[in-house]
Structure 1
Amino acid sequence: MSTHPPKSTLFGPGSYPEARRISDVLRSETVGGALLLLATVLALVWANSSASGSYEALRDARFGPHALHLDLTLGQWAADGLLAIFFFVAGLELKREFVAGDLRDPRRAALPVAAAVGGMAVPALVYVLINLGGEPGVLRGWAIPTATDIAFALAVLAVISTHLPTGLRTFLLTLAVVDDLLAITIIALFYTRELVPGMLLLALLPLGLFAFLVQRRVSSVWFLLPLALVTWYLVHASGVHATVAGVLLGFAVPVLRGREAGGEESGPGLAEHFEHVWRPVSAGVAVPVFAFFAAGVGVGGLAGLGSALRDPLTIGIIAALVLGKSIGITGATYLVQRFTHAELDEGLSWWDVLGLALLGGIGFTVSLLIGELAFGPGSEEAEHVKVGVLVGSLLAALLATVLLRMRNGVYRRLEKRERADTDADGIPDIYEHPDQVGRPDQVGRPDQA
């Protein structure tokens, strides 16, 4: 009998419970991606029509209590308020992955984390190199091309009807989740207005009470929602972007039940429940509404579009999304493979990795948000950011479509093999190899998190 340890694999399917959960998440995000595309097209058509003035009037309409400095435009409410829901769900998902999901295993976490870091660092470098010596302040947009929009990417996959294997889909989702955490960290550290420390310290009080209640499985909206809103307001008033509050609230929610509450055997923590409730709101309302108000750029015909495309700022964003993302994600994956001596999962090739890396270049929602934070809504730079993000994301999507469609025959064969190898218990054989490194069959259980 061989004494050699089993080979570790990249893009393996993971555990069966996790694969089923990921499939449910992806279905929800795919529907949200379709709504996101619809909202974007509607905004672009309206902003470039003869009725563009009404679009701008709607986007810039103000409401909210002036005494609390919350007399914001609809566009600002979408960016500061609705996107907090998006980042709340991202916080829940990230904690779930690292506490009870396959990514609790450092060997499995290494790949998406490294790919997310590479997929942010290289695009930022590409943008900076193209804009060195440019207009003053243009380097403030270095973080614009670092984000990955999972809903948009999944909508592309749905449109092209590719049979992407479970391992690749899981990698894409987890990469985007880690990407969201890094993006919100960048927003908090580099795009904070004048900081008001007192307000930030005050925010810890409702946040702490929220955490205390959810740890004791209090799920009543009458208790938790006011605390969440107060936390959001105090973070907003502190000068830190209000979406940071969403991530902090998400991190506070327990993923698993504590032993004093009956142990995991009695049921999961509140994170799964909240994710089930709020993910449809995030994917179906918050992100599409933000996209509607953020993506409506009037290009002023071919002349205006040509002027925007000649701007180094726009060129930097496009190059960073298409080239920077593909180089960063593929390069980081290659380094992980080299250092761990892992092998790509059976049937996959580096063309599949490049296809996913190109999908990672669809940086839409968070890229538009960072663009507004970097240059201010309504500025010429902000309008050129929108053009760069739209064109770059479209090019990345088209290139990914061509590559993944060329590989779709391989994906179909892998899918047939998976179904053919399913036992009477309904679980495909590929999930029943706990001895293989990187394919844990069970989900571990901390006492409480």
Structure 2
Amino acid sequence: MPTVPCTFTSFIRDMAQWSGSHPMRSPSLRLMLSKKFMVPVVADMTRPSFMTSFKSTASGKNSHYRNGMLALTVPCRTMFSTLVKGDHAKRRRMIGDRYANSNVMKQAPLAGIQERSKRFVERCVDSPDKTADVFRALHAYACDCVTHQLFHPYGSNCLQNKDDEEMMHQVAADDSLQNRLVQYYSPILHRLGSSILTSFAKPRLIPLADNFVIENAKENGAADFTVLNRLKEKDSVLDTIDMAAECLDHMAAGIDTTGDVLCFLMWELSQPRSTKYQRLLREEFRSKPDAHFDELPMLDAVLNEGLRCFPAIPMSLPRYVPHGGRVIDGFSLPEKSVVSCQALSVHRINDHVFPEPDKFYPERWLEAEGDADRRRHQWAFSSGGRGCIGKHLAMAEMKTLLRDVYSRYETEPDESMKSESMAMDDQLISSRPLGKRCLLKFVPVKG
């Protein structure tokens, strides 16, 4: 196992992420050891045995998460930034049923998603020459959907309201990976840099997004299915700022992730090599106009392949090894070591599960042989107690929109678009298109 002459192996890895040069993970466990302490600082892994242990025994998140995704005016602890496993589980149980598939698929939540999907289609087809920047529109759609689940009837209307869309972009623009790494490794340097910058530009003390969640957290008429309704229950110990901070984290987690996956997927479906999948989707939708999502295998296959090729969060997800350490597949992991899995690598390194892993091939999800292995390696939402709490909401949003678009329209790239502008550009949470736009033409399909 390779060693490095210092204790900052995670620093080396993160600087590679800073520069965009972080390599794909190797098939076997790679331990970076400190010569001084002879314990692994960071272990990156892709084997199923590691993934199983990762979700079941890891004791908690490491301090990368301690400040949450976004800082409110008053710092406070949210589910995302809760490091201790037991405390995190308690907060998750408080709101988990709001994101359960049984709740998301109820009439009111699903109707809200469907209405916002229709607004997305209207916005795109009403654009000049029926050419729309779906990068912006999909992020607006994702924000409107997640705030509907959080606050209805007080959610955003980014697809139709420019002020709401500006608020959404403020949340989505919090993509300064370099800034967060400096804050993590050198708080003093970060504070010094911030002081220098604010001497030239006056900061917004209460950004639009903060105002949005704080004002909504004060409301008392949220629908029964919403997260806010659950946070406001009589036995809740959360005050307005606590509730606002929790909801802001959920907003941040639900905008770029869903928006970027759909953007990359629609771009891929619009390429000549993949337009046949538009036809296959349309045939399925038209043959089963009232079918439940579970009855649409091609839709499921296309979306799963999109999530495999363009995972919402490609970054590593670090966790601490719990007390006593662990031995997994013959590798000894001392307690307090940091272990991590990365979806982008899990989906590509294990080519015995995903042959030709760099090829967009939805048919693989329709094959009975190896289906269990593929599902087990589908790690776009992570897994276990730290897995994405909004998975079912995200899946409903994406499936609804894909059905509404490809049942009536074909999409094709605008002539001005270059493939280089759609390269994956790693950010704090997700990987957005490098050019930060995706112009697609919406062509009505007859019949």
Q: TM-score, normalization: structure 2?
A: 0.26
Task: Point out the structure with the larger strand share.
Answer: 2
TM-score (norm 1): 0.26
Which gives a bigger RCO, structure 1 or 2 (Cα 8 Å, sep 6+)?
1
More helix by share: 1
